């Protein structure tokens, strides 16, 4: 059984060698061929082989892996179409290699194969940040790579502990009871942007190239969601981790000026819903997390595509510098609104059909507090992604930008993504049939539709009132402090302070400490010197008396 991942990765090496139409045809045909190969392959494991006495299964196809791999290949096709106008074959090739690593990790049947593709995904995606060839991009790419390597090392350590304990390499349910499982979960948590481990995503995604940000939004974090769904379903800890992920980004996104950073925060918000679904477990929880992950690959890519088109034409994605672009870029504005409606879970759009599965799974478990917090997070994402992104980019305070519409290939990619969003929303059963567990769920019930419309209406009214009264945080030039302040500011400054303080302390405290140490050494070693009392010759009569005393002591002890 041949893996579509290898087709994409090896096929991508030919992209820089081709020119013109052959190159365009190649970058489009590879994802399509990968989809055909995936769906023509039967379910089951590929032929395994032994490595150092351990059985490896490089390819395993079942309902869960096929669903995620399909989403990755569709995202690869959309991103490749979006990048057709570029004259940088390296980025086009890296996008396909990166997509191939995500597909390979999804189809991995053992932990070693997963680790290999896990690391390759981190390495290849870093080049999409460096491809901008700026100092900021270089530094951000290095920080991104460090985060990915730390994640890989933790996963490798966890796998080693499992092998040492005789648990084997099969990539199935892991849980938290076995040796090394907690390390593997921590490794996944880094790539999944768990709270306090999320700063690398906010730090680096906005520094990627226009095409790179679209690709990054689809692959790394969703591969982490797949690993959670495969290895940690029903882990209660993930419910509260997911809830925290849905809530805290809202407050950052509302005050953020860079609209690509707003999308990065909204990505963590959506990942939180998926993590909570995995934590709930069961058929409905895993189905909801999986379906929402695939839907997110498309609608989040659509939003990043729209902001990429804005960046291409205006040179900025700062909310304080944009507005009125609907006059120059009406098609991009309309397509962006489709993505905004999808992420906000409007009826007839993809988010409504997928996020409702997670909410229903939480409701069936009677987790009232969790359900209310997720409901709050749903209203929050409508504020910052459903309204703020299109409003401040295309409609608010016209800055006088009069630019050309996005290139044709960009609009085609966005239109295809929008059609998928509408298709999933209007015919959700087509998606539900691909899910790993059979279920019977109807999202379009009257109470559900009315409740969702009420939520969106009240959220939009709140946004309008806040804007009209001037209470909504204005779009201003600012730097918002996040968890990355620890390693980008506090640690370097602490290190700098120590490097300046230590030499001064050495000069001031060195002589007294050296003198004290010399005195202690002298006092300790004085009896051992050649001229000391123990080493000098003793009189014979003294030695006789000592010998008599010691012999008498031994005899007395023996008699007793």
pLDDT in tens, 395-417: 888 888 889 999 999 999 999 99
Lowest mean pLDDT, pick from 122-131, 275-284, 384-393: 384-393
Closest to 388 in 3D by CA, of 435, 441, 344: 344
**Same-domain status, 80 and 185:** yes
Q: Is residue 136 part of a domain?
A: yes
Residue at a domain's end among 483, 501, 519: 483
CA dist 521 → 389, 514, 524, 529, 549 (Å): 71, 11, 5, 12, 33
- Tell whether 323 and 343 lie within a shared domain: yes
Q: Is residue 546 part of a domain?
A: no
Residue 103 covered by a domain = yes
Whether residue 253 lies inside any domain: the answer is: yes
For residue 560, give the 3-state DSSP assignment: coil
Are residues 194 and 245 in contact, defined by beta-carbon separation less than 8 angstroms? yes
Each residue of 249-308: pLDDT tens digit?
998 888 888 999 999 999 999 999 999 999 999 999 999 999 999 999 999 999 999 999
Residue 496 inside a domain? The answer is no
User: For residue 11, is it within any domain?
Assistant: yes
Q: Distance (Å, rounded) from C-alpha 390 to C-alpha 334?
A: 9
In angstroms, the CA 456 to CA 375 distance is 11
According to DSSP, residue 433 is labeled T
Please state which of the ranges 37-51, 95-109, 496-510 shows the lowest mean pLDDT.
496-510
Residue 488 burial by Cβ neighbours in a 10 Å radius (0-12, 13-18, 19+):
middle
- Pair (434, 394) in one structural domain: yes
Residue after which a domain boundary falls, among 483, 498, 523: 483
- Whether residues 371 and 405 fall in one domain: yes
Give the burial class of 350: count Cβ atoms within 10 A of its Cβ; 0-12 exposed, 13-18 middle, 19 or more buried. buried
| Residues 264 and 357 reside in one and the same domain | yes
Same-domain check for residues 164 and 253: no
Q: Do the strands 44-45 and 60-61 form a parallel or antiparallel pair, or are they unpaired?
A: antiparallel
C-alpha distances out from residue 322 to 258, 395, 411, 476, Å = 10, 9, 20, 11
Give per-residue burial for 16-35: e unless 16+ CB within 10 Å, then b: eeeeeeebbebbeebbeebb
Domain-ending residue, one of 177, 201, 232: 232
Model confidence band, residue 33 (pLDDT cutoffs 50, 70, 90): very high
Q: Which of 1-5, 150-154, 228-232 has the lowest mean pLDDT?
A: 1-5
CB 280 within 8 A of CB 361: yes
The alpha carbon torsion through 456, 457, 460, 466 (nearest 10 deg) reads: -130
How is 339-375 classified by DSSP, letter by letter? Answer: HHHHHTT-TTSHHHHHHHHHHHHHHHTT-HHHHHHHH
Round to whole Å and give the CA distance between 122 and 141: 10
**301 and 201 housed in the same domain:** no
Residues 85 and 227 in one domain: yes
Expressed as residue numbers, the domain containing 193 is: 1-232
Q: In this structure, are residues 343 and 351 in contact, taking their beta carbons and an 8 Å threshold?
A: yes
User: Which residue, 202, 218, 291, 230, is CA-closest to 108?
Assistant: 230
In a domain, 527, yes or no: no
User: Stretch 428-436: mean pLDDT, rounded?
Assistant: 94
Q: Looking at the structure, do residues 348 and 253 belong to the same domain, yes or no?
A: yes
pLDDT of 73 over the 90 cut: yes
Name the pLDDT band for 483 (thresholds 50, 70, 90). confident
- Torsion sign, CA atoms 253, 258, 259, 264: negative
Domain count for the chain:
2
- Tokens at residue 523, please? 């006092």
- 266 and 376 part of one domain: yes
Instruction: Tell me, yes or no, whether 381 lies in a domain.
Output: yes
| pLDDT tens column, 133-151 | 889 899 999 999 999 999 9
- Average pLDDT in the 442-458 region? 91
Same domain, 13 and 27: yes
Secondary structure element (H or E) that encloses residue 50, with its range = strand 49-51
- Same domain assignment for residues 57 and 106: yes
Q: Per this entry, what is the length of the chain?
A: 560
């Amino acid at each position: 059984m041949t893996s579509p991942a290898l087709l994409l990765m090896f096929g991508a090496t030919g992209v820089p060698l081709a020119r013109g139409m052959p190159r365009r045809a190649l970058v489009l045909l590879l994802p399509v061929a990968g989809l055909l190969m995936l769906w023509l392959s039967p379910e089951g494991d590929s032929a395994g082989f032994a490595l150092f006495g351990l059985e490896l299964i490089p390819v395993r196809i079942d309902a869960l892996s096929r669903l995620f791999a399909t989403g990755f290949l569709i995202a690869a096709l959309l991103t490749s179409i979006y990048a057709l106008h570029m004259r940088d074959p390296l980025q086009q090739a890296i996008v396909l290699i990166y997509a191939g690593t995500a597909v390979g990790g999804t189809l991995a049947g053992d932990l070693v194969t997963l680790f290999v593709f896990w690391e390759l995904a981190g390495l290849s995606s870093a080049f999409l940040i460096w491809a901008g060839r700026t100092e900021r991009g270089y530094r951000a790419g290095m920080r991104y790579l460090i985060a990915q390597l730390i994640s890989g090392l933790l996963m490798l350590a966890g796998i080693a502990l499992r092998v040492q304990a005789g648990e084997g390499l099969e990539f199935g349910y892991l849980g938290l009871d076995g040796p090394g499982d907690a390390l593997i979960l921590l490794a996944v948590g880094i790539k999944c942007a768990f709270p306090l481990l999320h700063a690398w995503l906010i730090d680096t995604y906005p520094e990627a190239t226009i095409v790179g940000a679209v690709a990054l939004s689809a692959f790394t974090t969703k591969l982490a969601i797949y690993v959670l769904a495969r290895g940690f379903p029903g882990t209660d800890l993930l419910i509260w981790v997911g809830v925290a992920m849905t809530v805290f980004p809202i407050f950052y996104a509302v005050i953020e000026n860079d609209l690509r950073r707003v999308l990065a925060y909204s990505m963590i918000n959506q990942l939180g819903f998926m993590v909570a679904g995995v934590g709930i477990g069961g058929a409905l929880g895993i189905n909801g997390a999986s379906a929402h992950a695939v839907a997110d690959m498309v609608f989040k890519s659509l939003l990043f595509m729209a902001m990429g088109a804005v960046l291409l034409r205006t040179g900025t994605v700062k909310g304080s510098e944009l507005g009125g672009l609907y006059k120059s870029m009406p098609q991009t504005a309309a397509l962006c609104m489709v993505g905004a409606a999808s992420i906000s879970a409007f009826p007839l759009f993809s988010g409504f059909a997928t996020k409702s599965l997670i909410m229903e799974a939480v409701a069936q478990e009677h987790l009232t507090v969790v359900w209310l917090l997720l409901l709050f997070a749903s209203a929050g994402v409508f504020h910052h992604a459903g309204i703020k992104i299109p409003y401040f980019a295309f409609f608010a305070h016209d800055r006088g930008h009069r630019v050309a519409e996005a290139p044709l290939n960009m609009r085609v990619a966005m239109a295809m993504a929008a059609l998928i969003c509408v298709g999933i929303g209007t015919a959700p059963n087509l998606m539900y049939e691909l899910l790993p567990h059979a279920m019977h769920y109807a999202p379009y019930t009257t109470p559900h539709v009315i409740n969702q419309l009420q939520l969106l209406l009240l959220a939009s009214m709140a946004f309008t009132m806040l804007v009209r009264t001037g209470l909504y945080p204005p779009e201003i030039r600012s730097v918002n402090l996040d968890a990355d302040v620890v390693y980008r500011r506090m640690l370097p400054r602490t290190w700098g302070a120590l490097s300046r303080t230590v030499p001064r302390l050495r000069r001031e405290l060195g002589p007294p400490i050296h003198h004290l140490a010399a005195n202690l050494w002298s006092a300790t070693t004085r009896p051992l010197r050649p001229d000391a009392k123990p080493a000098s010759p003793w009189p014979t009569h003294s030695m006789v008396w000592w010998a008599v005393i010691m012999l008498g002591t031994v005899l007395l002890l023996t008699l007793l």
